[in-house]
Amino acid sequence: MTAKNPVLLVHGIHDTQAVFGKMARYLRDRGWVTHGIDLTPNDGSAGLDDLAQQVQHLAAQQFGPDAPFDIVAFSMGGIVSRYYLQRLGGDRQVQRCITISSPHQGTWMARWRNAPGIQHMCLNSAFLADLNRTLKTDLASVQITSLWTPYDLMILPASSSRLGIGHEAQFPVLAHPLMLRDDRCLAAVAAALAQPVASRTSATFPSLGGVSAGQGG
């Protein structure tokens, strides 16, 4: 049986760790230990690289320098987590990273405010281009899963939530925040966390009624 790593839950913009309430209970009921973080500020007024340093600090305090753990990240939290993995050495400790509706390629919705963290999430931003340029090599040791909905009105285009490497699955969820409470998405998160790290096959996601779930490029 695959050992269950502790799981760090990283929230999105204007959220706190409380947004993971249902998911945290779901995972704890199935044997995972979950940890939360409250990113400050949570409104995009700080750069995502600065927020990633908060993840780094909490991980050092909570898990120490050697113990493996996994990350489940929502929306902006997925990009914060990627910076931690790709630029702050988090890939040496994190074994699985699951992003949910994160703007990996940017979103048109980030045009509305000229704040550092929000501008980092713009389509074609230099921040995202830098992370995406070295994506495959930076995350070669991390088992990546991206979950998304084609009906997302916060991530535009919705396909921007596809990272393009690792595993992915899409769900016909009608709103961005509902991804964290959708039973199919919760089951997929648990399946990805349970997948042996060394496996190169697709994670055993639940049936999606004809919607594909598989492995990216």
* Residue 2 falls inside a structural domain: no
Q: Is the pLDDT of residue 160 over 70?
A: yes
Check residue 202 and give its pLDDT. 46
Check residue 187 and give its pLDDT. 98
Q: Residue 72 belongs to a domain with what CATH number?
A: 3.40.50.1820
Q: Is the pLDDT of residue 184 over 80?
A: yes
* Residue 19 falls inside a structural domain: yes
* Residue 28 falls inside a structural domain: yes
Check residue 114 and give its pLDDT. 86
Q: Is the pTM of this model over 0.95?
A: no
* Residue 120 falls inside a structural domain: yes
* Residue 72 falls inside a structural domain: yes
Check residue 206 and give its pLDDT. 53
Q: Is the four-CA dihedral 57, 132, 153, 170 of positive or negative sign?
A: negative
* Residue 1 falls inside a structural domain: no
3-state SS, one letter per residue, for 131-195: HHHCHHHHCCCCEEEEEECCCCCCCCCHHHHCCCCCEEEECCCCCHHHHHCCHHHHHHHHHHHHC
* Residue 155 falls inside a structural domain: yes
* Residue 196 falls inside a structural domain: yes
- The domain of 86 spans 7-215
Q: What's the total number of domains in the chain?
A: 1
Q: Name the band, by pLDDT with cuts 50, 70 and 90, for residue 197.
A: confident
